[in-house]
């Protein structure tokens, strides 16, 4: 039977994998206009997915970034029990702050990057031809947006672990006092 830390690591790995899959699927669905195909099969489901896929993509990216940040930060904490306590606290904070973080990270990711997107477009047209380039460009834009949200949420995840360390160490200090 797996021990506590092993179970935690396995759960975190599974969660990360699920979020990557959901993120990839929703990003591709959004970029390749999948709801149009879905509408021809089932109009109501297609309409519902068309209205919500973008939020699913943003939510998956934010959750993935937070989780990666928490997993990176957790590695720096010494001691299995302390690490487990901080993980739980950081996860609770992440759940509480998820909705505001989702909006803030998504809004930050929508800000323009001061690089030459025109030259990227021409390069894609050169490589794939105009018709395919139109589709590829949409995939690229959606993927970059997804990754930018993950990046901002990763920072927030690291900050959440930093926040989680504080009460834990203060409690330890209060419990053991100066004598240790």
Partner 1 sequence: MVILFVHVSAVIIALGASLFSTFALMPVLADELDPPERLRVGRRVIRRLGAIVLTALAILVFTGILNVLLIGAVSQLLAAKLVLVVIVIALALYQHANLGARIWALSAQGPNAAIVPLQERFRRIGFTVGLLVLLIVYLSLGITRAGGVTAAMMVR
Which residues lie near partner 1 (CB under 8 A)? Answer: 72-73, 76-79, 82, 86, 104-105, 107-108, 111-115, 148, 151-152, 154-156, 158-163, 165-166, 169-170, 172-173, 176, 178-180
Say how far apart CA 90 and CA 55 lie, in whole Å.
23
Smallest separation, CB 104 to partner 1 (Å):
6
Place of tokens 């021990």: 3
Q: Minimum Å distance from CB 2 to partner 1?
A: 24
Q: Phi-psi bin for 178: left (phi > 0), alpha (psi -120 to 50), beta?
A: alpha
- Residue with smaller CB distance to partner 1, 46 or 97: 97
Q: How many CA atoms lie within 13 A of 86 on its CB side?
A: 30
Which CB, 46 or 151, lies closer to partner 1?
151
Distances (CA, A) of 37 to 30, 49, 125, 146, 170: 12, 11, 25, 23, 56
Q: Smallest gap, in angstroms, from Cβ of residue 180 to partner 1? A: 3
Q: Could you give phi then psi for residue 78, rounded to 5 degrees?
A: -90, 145
Residue indicated by tokens 């297609």 = 46
Nearer to partner 1, 129 or 167 (CB): 167
- Shortest Cβ distance from residue 116 to partner 1 (Å)? 12
> Which residue's CB is nearer to partner 1, number 7 or number 103?
103
Q: At its nearest, how many Å lie between partner 1 and the CB of residue 54?
A: 19
Positive or negative CA dihedral for 6, 9, 14, 15?
A: positive
Helix 43-75 / helix 80-96 crossing angle, nearest 10 deg: 140
Nearer to partner 1, 9 or 168 (CB): 168
């Amino acid at each position: 039977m797996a021990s506590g830390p092993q179970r935690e690591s396995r759960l975190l790995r599974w969660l990360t994998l699920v979020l990557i899959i959901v993120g990839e699927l929703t990003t591709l669905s959004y970029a390749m206009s999948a709801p149009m195909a879905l509408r021809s099969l089932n109009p109501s489901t297609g309409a519902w997915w068309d209205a919500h896929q973008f939020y699913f993509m943003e939510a998956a990216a934010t959750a993935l970034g937070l989780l990666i940040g928490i997993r990176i930060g957790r590695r720096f904490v010494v001691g299995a029990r302390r690490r487990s306590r901080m993980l739980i606290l950081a996860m609770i904070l992440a759940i509480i702050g998820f909705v505001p973080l989702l909006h803030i990270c998504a809004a930050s990711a929508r800000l323009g990057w001061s690089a030459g997107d025109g030259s990227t477009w021409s390069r894609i047209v050169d490589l794939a031809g105009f018709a395919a380039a139109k589709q590829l460009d949409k995939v690229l834009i959606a993927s970059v947006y997804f990754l930018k949200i993950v990046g901002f949420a990763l920072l927030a995840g690291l900050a959440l672990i930093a926040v989680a360390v504080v009460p834990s160490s203060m409690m330890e200090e209060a419990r053991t006092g100066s004598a240790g």
